[in-house]
Every structure is written in structure tokens, then in C-alpha cells.
Amino acid sequence: MAAAMPINPKPFLNGLTDGYMNLQLANTEEHVDGNCTGSLGEVLIRCNNVMYIRGVEEEDEEGEMKD
């Protein structure tokens, strides 16, 4: 049995990229004027207009913000 020759995946993966920044988010919430208006769950954002992303600070088990 001959060993399989490894193939470099970089050319293939580079061919799959485009100018879009697609995001898949879990456990999302909608906030309007700083107030949570509801849970959206899993969301897919498909666009090239994403200009800014910020994650919320996580809380530890005691409810205090992590660094």
C-alpha cells in the first residue's frame, strides 16, 4: 500500500475567499438604545459592510467582569 502524498490546501482555501465578512453568531440579543429588546438566538450576517465588531465583557462565576 503506497502512502498518500500530502497536498497543500492553501491554493484551494485561497480560492474560497472573497471580499465578504460572513459572521455566524450564537446567543445573540437585540439592543435598542442600550436596552435589550429580545433574544435572537443564532444569526448569520452575510455582507461586506461590517465595519465594527465588539464582544461583550464576560462575567465570572461571582458576577464580576473579567479582564
Which long-range contacts does 6-10 make (Cβ < 8 Å, 24+ apart)? none
Supply the pTM of this predicted model.
0.44
Distance CA 24, CA 22 (A): 7
Number of domains in the chain: 1
7 located within any domain? no
Question: Is residue 65 domain-resident?
Answer: no
Q: 28: domain range?
A: 15-45
29 within domain boundaries = yes
The answer to the question of residue 19 being in a domain is yes
Please give the Cα distance from 51 to 67 (Å, whole number).
25
Residue position matching grid coordinates 448569520? 44
- Cβ contacts of residue 29 below 8 Å, gap of 6+? 36, 38, 39, 40
Per-residue confidence (pLDDT) for residue 66, from 0 to 100: 63
67 residues of the chain, pLDDT tens digit each: 667 888 888 888 777 777 677 888 899 999 899 899 999 999 988 877 777 777 777 777 676 666 5
C-alpha cell of residue 53 = 465588531
